[in-house]
Structure 1
Amino acid sequence: MLLMSLITMITLSLSLLIMMLSSILSKKTTSDREKNSPFECGFDPKSKSRIPFSIRFFLIAVIFLIFDVEIALMLPMILILSISNIKIWFILSLYFILILLMGLYYEWKFGALNWL
Structure 2
Amino acid sequence: MLYFFFNLTLSILVPSLIIISTIILSWRTDFDREKFTPFECGFDPKNSARLPFSLRFFLLAVIFLVFDIEIALLMPIPLCLMSGLSISIIPTSFLFFLILLLGLLHEWHEGSLDWSS
Q: Same fold (TM over 0.5)?
A: yes
Query: Unmatched 5+ residue regions in structure 1?
Result: none
Query: Unmatched 5+ residue regions in structure 2?
Result: none
How far did residue 100 of structure 1 move? 0.7
The DSSP-based 3-state class of the residue aligned with 2:26 is helix
Q: Indicate the residue corresponding to 1:18 in structure 2.
A: 21
The DSSP-based 3-state class of the residue aligned with 2:33 is coil
Number of aligned pairs?
107
Q: State the distance in 2 between where 1:67 and 1:8 align.
A: 62
The DSSP-based 3-state class of the residue aligned with 2:114 is coil
TM-score using structure 2 length = 0.64
1:102 aligns with 2:105: no
Per-residue Cα deviation, 1:87-116 (whole angstroms, up to 9, x for no partner): x21111111012111211221222211222
Q: Indicate the residue corresponding to 1:37 in structure 2.
A: 38
Q: State the distance in 2 between where 1:63 and 1:17 align.
A: 55
TM-score using structure 1 length = 0.64
Question: Percent same amino acid at aligned positions?
Answer: 43
Against the structure 1 CA distance between its residues 39 and 68, is the aligned structure 2 distance closer, same or farther, given a 3 Å change threshold? Answer: farther
Q: State the distance in 1 between where 2:86 and 2:43 align.
A: 50
RMSD: 3.3
Against the structure 1 CA distance between its residues 104 and 15, is the aligned structure 2 distance closer, same or farther, given a 3 Å change threshold? Answer: farther
Q: Indicate the residue corresponding to 1:84 in structure 2.
A: 86
Per-residue Cα deviation, 1:15-74 (whole angstroms, up to 9, x for no partner): 3222211233x45333336x842558x887654354432101210121122123323433
